[in-house]
Structure 1
Amino acid sequence: MSIGIHDLDVATAHYVLDLDEMARALGVDPAKYEKGLGQDEFSVPAPDEDIVTMAAEAASRVLSRNDPSKIRSVLFATETGIDQSKAAGVFVHGLLGLPNTVRTVEFKQACYSGTAALQAAVNQVARYPEDQVLVIASDVARYAVDSGGEPTQGAGAVAMLITANPNLVVIEPGSGVYTSDVNDFWRPNDSSTPFVEGKLSLDAYMDANVGAWDDLAAQRGLAVTDIDRFMHHQPFTKMARKAHARLAEHTGVALGDDLIEDSMAYNRRIGNSYTASLYFGLAAQLHAEGDLAGKRLGLFSYGSGSVAEFFTAVVQDGYSDHIHPENVAASLDRRVPLTFEQYRELHAGYIGESDNVETPVVTKAPFRFTGIVDRVRQYEARG
């Protein structure tokens, strides 16, 4: 039985900051961002947006094309948790009006947990072939101002429906996995922004890349030449290029940039979306020109701290009849440009406490974060 991603859609935030605008304000050469990081702009949430509203929007698009009554689990992956107890997916479950007969849980391990949720969903369908599982990866990457991470911020959500006999890609059995206890990136409970050891983080990412690959090759006897396209986790797209080059060096096989180029189109514009990053890469690859039917994709998922997985997926015949690049284009093009000063005001206005607050109506998206009442987050679905 084949199991994989049957449908996929995305959402991002209301605002966008062009990195040329940031470069001008900070007196930095724009090439530092465009070439040094491989980024052009990043999404910025409005005060009435968060991981739940973006997740609900992406998921609602998937559900509009499928039967919600068949969903048996909602698996929500994020490192931007909004509650230490309640899963963000429970809020999404309510906003979408899903049946009560649904298991809902949250996954966390930095940027990797979207893949953990995907593999858990595949395992559920393997045991219960009639089940369908909604996997959502949604995050807001928010760093301290004037930090090295500030230009690599971003926001976005990817929703995927996991089923037997999928329309888009089949997840092949057998992954390469890797774990190492590294303090390269972390966010304590009392901090609204993470701490990063830049050089250590890059080294940990590269070590995990080749370590997970070696395990995949050993588990399945797979050669790097058996893969037709690669998608690497993209905290910024230049890091994916570095990982690809390191994999080529490690395997002794020339791996051209043409094998990864298409996968970076969306992340250059959205910025870092943590758990959703790899799957924005997958969406970009599926939406690119050319027929991928029958091609094997290699996907490298990484989460700081660190945990990684290298796995493969095979694109299905007729997949192009079930992709929706117009939704991505609409999400990106409707964003409202910010000046640098406006962006910094939004950054400073971040709501990190649970005091009562009513958020201003800004976004026109189908779901809003309306505020906090008696320490409980409030949401609304618009008709």
Structure 2
Amino acid sequence: MSGELAVGIHDLAFATTEYVLTHATLAARTGADVAKYHQGIGQTAISVPAADEDVVTMAATAAATIVARHGSDRIRTVVFATETGIDQAKAAGIYVHSLLGLPSAARVVELKQACYAGTAALQFAIGLVHRDPAQQVLVIAADTSRYELGSPGESTQGAAAVAMLVGAGPALVRIEDPAGLQTADIMDFWRPNYRNTALVDGQESIAAYLQAVQGAWKDYAEQGGRALTEFRAFCYHQPFTKMAYKAHRHLLRHCGLDAEAADVDRAVQPTTAYNSVIGNSYTASIYLGLAALLDSAVDLTGRAVGFLSYGSGSVAEFFAGEVVPGYRTHLRTVQHRAAIDRRQDIDYARYRDLHQLTFPADGGDHLRPRETSGHKRLYES
């Protein structure tokens, strides 16, 4: 591999919301035992967007620190992955491009395929850099997950954005070939245009996820990928953190290996710290897992990390990355923890009011109060 061009994640930053609803508060409202959330699904809190926050504001906040550190002269492409975009035609990334003052000589595009699209954006970016190693690509994955109040999915909600700078000679993680792929037409989760909240068949979605893990791994192995035992850690899409553990146990057993609890914890637990307190951020989820892993105390220098990206409907991909020597000097651990700690705790009534806010449908001007200290966007008819 010494003669190959190393391409991967050069920088990574994330942002989340102004508010947080704890699962203790949610349990007090629903009457559920809080252990149902803490131990059952592995979640302790939900990031809740303020009235003036959405995927664009979170994305701009995450990406701004990357541009501040590296500049924008080499960024010729912005790929924005989301399933909660704000327009059916105009890419949300164009607003981010404007907010950050990126060069006009750039392409901007939005990708959609449920929670998988962030990985599609990363792989597309890698292809662009291989074609022109002088350029860098800004990849953004940002989402807000919303389910009906009182529904089983309510406790898994969340919101965040992850921004990644992809380029040659990456400082964090070199992304390897090959990738294992799986697509199947499954109605486990969907959100039609006429709905503000998603619909999900929970048991079908879990079964589809596990089927996708198995299929993507099979293709990865057939493409000549690494042996399972070579990986130090695994970043899975985390609709709730316990799903990552379930997926890894399934993969180990599928490969004929013991799924001892200690081994599963060692491979998965370091990836769950941020998702457990943010909730499901759809396209951003797997890369929040990577951020948590890199920010953890585990020294990953030169070690292989497995990635299993899943998007309902469904598309899945398994690929590998190798952590670059010296990666610790480029981490944003303090910034990431501050983004979580700065959130303001809200009660259920305030959360409910925010949850019920919807986009105007009449084309008129609708001003919302300034609540956040981050970026804001002006909508015009």
TM-score tier after normalising by the smaller chain length? over 0.9
Q: Deviations over 1:234-279 (max 9, x none)?
A: 0000111110110111011235111110000000001000000000
Amino acid at match of 1:326: V
Query: Structure 1 residue 116: deviation in Å?
Result: 0.1
Give unmatched runs, 5+ long, in structure 1.
Answer: 375-383
Query: Structure 1 residue 369: deviation in Å?
Result: 3.2
Query: Structure 1 residue 27: deviation in Å?
Result: 0.7
Identify the residue that residue 9 of structure 2 maps to in structure 1: 5
Query: Structure 1 residue 70: deviation in Å?
Result: 0.6
Matches within 5 A, 1:229-378: 229-255=233-259, 256=263, 257-351=265-359, 353=361, 354-365=363-374, 367-370=375-378, 372-374=379-381
Which deviates more from structure 2 when the two are superposed, residues 336-345 or residues 305-314? Answer: 336-345
Identify the residue that residue 38 of structure 1 maps to in structure 2: 42
The SS at the match of 1:35 is helix
Q: Is the 8 A contact 2:360 2:366 kept in 1?
A: no
How many Å separate the matches in 1 of 2:357 and 2:111? Answer: 27
Matches within 5 A, 1:67-106: 67-106=71-110
Amino acid at match of 2:245: R
Distance change (3 Å), C-alpha of 1:355 and 1:19: farther
The SS at the match of 2:152 is coil
Q: 1:14 aligns with which of 18, 25, 29?
A: 18
Query: Structure 1 residue 58: deviation in Å?
Result: 0.3
Query: Structure 1 residue 352: deviation in Å?
Result: 5.3
Identify the residue that residue 61 of structure 2 maps to in structure 1: 57
How many Å separate the matches in 2 of 1:324 and 1:221? Answer: 30
Which deviates more from structure 2 when the two are superposed, residues 117-126 or residues 338-347? Answer: 338-347
Distance change (3 Å), C-alpha of 1:253 and 1:287: same
Identify the residue that residue 173 of structure 1 maps to in structure 2: 177
How many Å separate the matches in 2 of 1:331 and 1:252? Answer: 41
The SS at the match of 1:241 is helix
Which deviates more from structure 2 when the two are superposed, residues 342-351 or residues 277-286? Answer: 342-351
Q: 1:162 aligns with which of 166, 173, 198?
A: 166
Query: Structure 1 residue 348: deviation in Å?
Result: 1.5
How many Å separate the matches in 2 of 1:155 and 1:176? Answer: 28
Q: Deviations over 1:283-325 (max 9, x none)?
A: 0000000311100000000000000000000000000000011
Which deviates more from structure 2 when the two are superposed, residues 281-290 or residues 351-360? Answer: 351-360
Query: Structure 1 residue 351: deviation in Å?
Result: 2.8
Q: Is the 8 A contact 1:155 1:272 kept in 2?
A: yes
Identify the residue that residue 223 of structure 1 maps to in structure 2: 227
How many Å separate the matches in 2 of 1:193 and 1:33? Answer: 21
Distance change (3 Å), C-alpha of 1:287 and 1:221: closer
How many Å separate the matches in 2 of 1:286 and 1:254? Answer: 26
Q: Deviations over 1:75-116 (max 9, x none)?
A: 000000110000000000000000100110000000000000
The SS at the match of 1:176 is strand
Identify the residue that residue 112 of structure 2 maps to in structure 1: 108
Q: Is the 8 A contact 2:14 2:62 kept in 1?
A: yes
Amino acid at match of 1:357: H
Give unmatched runs, 5+ long, in structure 2.
Answer: none
Q: Is the 8 A contact 1:50 1:369 kept in 2?
A: no
Query: Structure 1 residue 349: deviation in Å?
Result: 2.2
How many Å separate the matches in 2 of 1:326 and 1:197? Answer: 38
The SS at the match of 2:193 is coil
Query: Structure 1 residue 142: deviation in Å?
Result: 0.8
Q: Is the 8 A contact 1:184 1:196 kept in 2?
A: yes
Query: Structure 1 residue 228: deviation in Å?
Result: 1.2
Count of aligned pairs between the two proteins? 372
Query: Structure 1 residue 219: deviation in Å?
Result: 0.5
Amino acid at match of 2:380: V
How many Å separate the matches in 2 of 1:363 and 1:348? Answer: 18
RMSD between aligned residues: 1.0
Amino acid at match of 2:132: Y
Matches within 5 A, 1:190-205: 190-205=194-209
The SS at the match of 1:174 is strand
Query: Structure 1 residue 118: deviation in Å?
Result: 0.1
Query: Structure 1 residue 373: deviation in Å?
Result: 3.0
Amino acid at match of 2:294: L
The SS at the match of 2:339 is helix
TM-score, normalising length from structure 1?
Answer: 0.96
Amino acid at match of 1:258: R
How many Å separate the matches in 2 of 1:156 and 1:214? Answer: 31
Amino acid at match of 2:159: A
Query: Structure 1 residue 356: deviation in Å?
Result: 1.8
